């Protein structure tokens, strides 16, 4: 996972561009096949999301489709924050309202709506210049610079993929976790590493390396340059902190499908303890 050297002015603090647009139809095909195969009882299976069953997760994905098409394609401004509501608070509230409303929609209709709107999402992404500004900044990769559009789109892909896996976990159906679909999820999630380390000052040149094992894994690093953490162009041979974990643990940690403490038990941590502990709080969802 390489990019330009950190000393060059053109270095993106978000790392090299990822084009996830071709993956949306493939991920959605797997999701629709899964939903159409579920028995009625499966739709009521509890998921890792507190208070939400499989039907609720599918309703939440529909909410994401509707929200992005309405806002990014049609320019509809429907967000209304209450009082001093933070973004996480707002999302929790409106997501809950939408999911509650979709409980009156039957599984077949809900699946048909996802199949109908999905291609409209694909068409929307095709119109977006990847190197332009994001419509919605990616807070968990936050810097002082606006997020690029490609990262916003990649964030949406990881959202859909992760929700599909939550459904699969709930009904005991493995799948959709091959490297072609999961690899870009992990690559996107690891763009949170520099932001995760932001509270830890170290001398210039200090590096943190995160190795993810498995077919969808790889090596990602952050280096301290000019009082900030940046993506490293190469995996440093002698990092100050080195974390190794498997691909399943990484995506679950990033979405809090496991706790930080549970994830650390599945990691090999070496070097600067403060940095290894910070790196293993990596979070790639709004919370």
Q: At what angle do helices 107-126 and 54-68 cross, to 10 degrees?
A: 30
* 265 confidence band (pLDDT: 50, 70, 90): very high
- Mean pLDDT over 43-52 rounds to 96
Residues 236-262: pLDDT tens digits? 889 999 999 999 999 999 999 999 999
* Domains of the chain from N-terminus onward: 23-135+144-176 (1.20.120.450), 191-279 (3.30.1050.10)
Residues 111-149: pLDDT tens digits? 999 999 999 999 999 999 999 999 989 999 987 889 999
What's this model's pTM, rounded to 2 decimal places?
0.93
For residue 42, pLDDT beyond 80: yes
CA dist 26 and 5 (Å) reads 34
Residue linked to tokens 């969802």: 285
CA dist 287 and 259 (Å) reads 14
């Amino acid at each position: 996972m390489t990019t330009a050297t950190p000393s060059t002015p053109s270095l993106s603090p978000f790392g090299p561009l990822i084009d996830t647009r071709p993956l949306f139809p493939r991920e959605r095909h797997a999701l629709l096949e899964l939903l159409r195969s579920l028995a009625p009882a499966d739709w009521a299976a509890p998921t890792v999301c507190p208070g939400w069953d499989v039907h609720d997760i599918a309703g939440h994905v529909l909410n994401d489709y509707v929200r992005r098409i309405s806002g990014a394609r049609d320019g509809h401004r429907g967000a209304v924050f209450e009082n001093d509501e933070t973004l996480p608070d707002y999302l929790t509230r409106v997501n809950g309202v939408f999911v509650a409303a979709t409980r009156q929609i039957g599984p077949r209709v809900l699946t048909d709506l996802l199949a109908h709107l999905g291609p409209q999402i694909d068409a929307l992404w095709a119109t977006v210049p990847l190197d332009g500004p994001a419509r919605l900044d990616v807070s968990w990769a936050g810097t002082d610079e606006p997020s690029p559009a490609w990262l916003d789109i990649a964030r949406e892909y990881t959202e859909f993929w992760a929700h599909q896996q939550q459904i699969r976990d709930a009904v005991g159906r493995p799948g959709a976790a091959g490297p072609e679909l999961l690899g870009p999820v992990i690559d996107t999630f690891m763009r949170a590493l520099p932001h995760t380390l932001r509270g830890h000052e170290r001398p210039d040149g200090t590096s943190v390396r995160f190795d993810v094992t498995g077919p969808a894994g790889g090596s990602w690093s952050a280096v301290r340059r000019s009082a900030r953490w940046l993506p490293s162009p190469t995996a440093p041979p002698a990092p100050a902190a080195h974390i190794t974990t498997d691909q399943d643990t990484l995506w679950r940690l990033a979405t809090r499908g496991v706790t930080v403490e549970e994830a650390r038990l599945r990691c090999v941590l070496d070097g600067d303890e403060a940095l290894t502990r910070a790196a293993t709080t990596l979070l790639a969802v709004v919370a």
